[in-house]
């Protein structure tokens, strides 16, 4: 889906920036207005986030509404809810972020979860970016405690894993 969105806005980099803000934040479009689930978000706030003017946001909405497939997706999109990633440190939780060579590869999540389980580390949250929706998809685990750096080589041995970050 992101590939199609990128292609659709290929001649409009600022409008693509608006679409990226919408996708990355799970924002939807209803009746020409932008919402986070059922809460309306002012156009000027989206413009600020995308570093464009308000007219660009309005034109992006119009373009999305002209394309049946994108209109359907952006109408139905919802925010996935709270992520513990940004509050992990004050909660003394561990974060593992994995970037794949091919985000459609099979078994990365299962194998990474197994490594954590074998170390007795409980997963509090697992977040995956959909490769069709996200321009740079990642797999993120939030663990019940700090993840030892010595595990990085084990994660890198998983077929398809390109990069691992622990913090």
Q: What is the pLDDT of residues 37-83, one digit of tens each?
A: 999 999 999 999 999 999 999 999 999 999 999 999 999 999 888 89
Same domain, 51 and 91: no
Of 29, 46, 76, the residue that ends a domain is 76
How far does the chain reach from its first CA to its final CA, in angstroms? 30
pLDDT computed for residue 134 by the predictor:
75
> Cα(150)–Cα(41) distance, rounded to whole angstroms?
43
Residues 59 and 90 grouped into a single domain: no
Report the alpha-carbon distance of residue 107 to residue 140 in Å, rounded: 14
User: Number of structural domains, the chain?
Assistant: 2
Look at residue 43 in the predicted model and tell me its pLDDT. Answer: 98
Low pLDDT (below 50) residues in the chain: none
Answer yes or no: do 68 and 106 share one domain. no
Q: Given 25, 46, 76, which residue is the final one in a domain? A: 76
Q: What whole-number distance in Å separates Cα of residue 142 and Cα of residue 132?
A: 23
What residue has token string 């990355």? 24
- What does the block give as tokens for 95? 């974060």
CATH code of the domain in which 147 resides: 3.30.70.260
Residues 103 and 158 grouped into a single domain? yes
Q: Which domain holds residue 96?
A: 85-166
């Amino acid at each position: 889906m992101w590939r199609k969105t990128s292609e659709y806005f290929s001649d409009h980099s600022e409008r693509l920036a608006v679409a990226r803000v919408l996708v990355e934040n799970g924002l939807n479009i209803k009746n020409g207005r932008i919402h986070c689930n059922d809460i309306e978000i002012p156009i000027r706030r989206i413009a600020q986030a995308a570093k464009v003017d308000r007219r660009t946001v309005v034109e992006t909405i119009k373009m999305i509404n002209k394309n049946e497939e994108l209109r359907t997706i952006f109408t139905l999109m919802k925010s996935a809810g709270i992520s513990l990633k940004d509050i992990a440190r004050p909660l003394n939780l561990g974060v593992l972020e994995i970037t794949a060579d091919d985000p459609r590869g099979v078994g990365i999540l299962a194998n990474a979860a197994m490594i954590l389980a074998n170390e007795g580390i409980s997963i509090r949250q697992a977040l995956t970016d959909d490769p069709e929706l996200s321009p740079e998809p990642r797999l993120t685990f939030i663990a019940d405690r700090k993840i030892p750096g010595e595990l990085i080589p084990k994660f890198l041995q998983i077929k398809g894993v390109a990069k691992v970050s622990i913090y």
